[in-house]
Structure 1
Amino acid sequence: MRQPDIEIYVKDADHNAITEWLSAALGPVSAWRQQGQTFKCSIASSDGPIPVTWLPKAVGKWNSLFLESDMTSWDDDLACARAAFAALNVEVRCAPGGWSEEEAEEQADRWIRISSDGEEEITWHTT
């Protein structure tokens, strides 16, 4: 099932590298607008604009990339994380599937780690 949005966590990448990757993968990216600690832009996809939020150092050294649309070329966070790792060659983490507030807290700590070591499920305490 297609997720309603995509969120991944990227280590050691800036929004310039992210811009290049998103432009190649999804379409033209507008200029980033800084709003407090976050950066926002929009991708002009063939299905309509995709709002994007980049939060540097959202969790320690990890940067959050949030695509607020189900109109990307990825069905879920994992597919996007795999594509990000392939394009950027930096470690990427994502939830193993959709997640909701109603889920148990231990489920919230389950993550998929994608790196040069491969892909594995880990426990990551983000709070």
Structure 2
Amino acid sequence: MQDLEIYIRDLKAGAVVRWLESHIKQLVLDDSDVASVAKGSAYFGEERLKITLYPQAFGKRFTSLIIEGEKLPWSSDLDCARSAWRAMETEVRCSPGEWQEGEAVENEKWWRLDVRGEQLVVWN
């Protein structure tokens, strides 16, 4: 199974559903309460996707979005982040590579997409 993970700053209710509806089908996700974990599903082609929103990731202002499946709508976290940025016009961040759960992230650079463009930055 593959996954995509991006971090969305100051996520607005309904924004993820509005964005994803044009990329996947049969989307079942309630993102009306952005303060609570939300789990859902959808299809990309014939492949079922698992979608999860985790609020307050990396502090109170970011929500983690994870999309898991055998076949995904984007080929990388950065491609997914670019699409989200265009749709939501709020800062979006993602890992630049193959970060693994449990690895230190203190000095790792992350892609930050916002009105200033795309930049590799230290998270804080």
Distance apart, 1:81 and its partner CA: 0.3
Q: Does 2:83 correspond to 1:83?
A: yes
**Partner residue of 2:47?**
48
Residues 99 and 108 in structure 1, CA contact (< 8 A), matched pair in contact too: no
What is the percentage of aligned positions where both structures have the same residue?
32
* TM-score (normalizing by structure 2): 0.84
Q: Which runs of 5+ in 1 are unaligned?
A: none
**How many pairs align?**
121
TM-score, scaled to structure 1:
0.82
Cα separation, 1, equivalents of 2:72 and 2:89: 21
8 Å Cα contact 1:6/1:69 also seen in 2: no
Q: Residues 20, 102 of structure 1: CA spacing in aligned structure 2 closer, same or farther, 3 A cutoff? A: closer
Q: CA deviation at 1:102?
A: 7.2
Structure whose residues are more often helix by fraction: 1
C-alpha separation between the residues in 1 aligned to 2:13 and 2:69? 19
For residues 98 and 108 of structure 1, the distance between their equivalents in structure 2, rounded to whole angstroms, comes to 15
- Structure 2: distance between partners of 1:57 and 1:107: 18
Q: Deviations along 1:99-123, whole A, 9 cap, x unmatched?
A: 12475x2577320000010000001
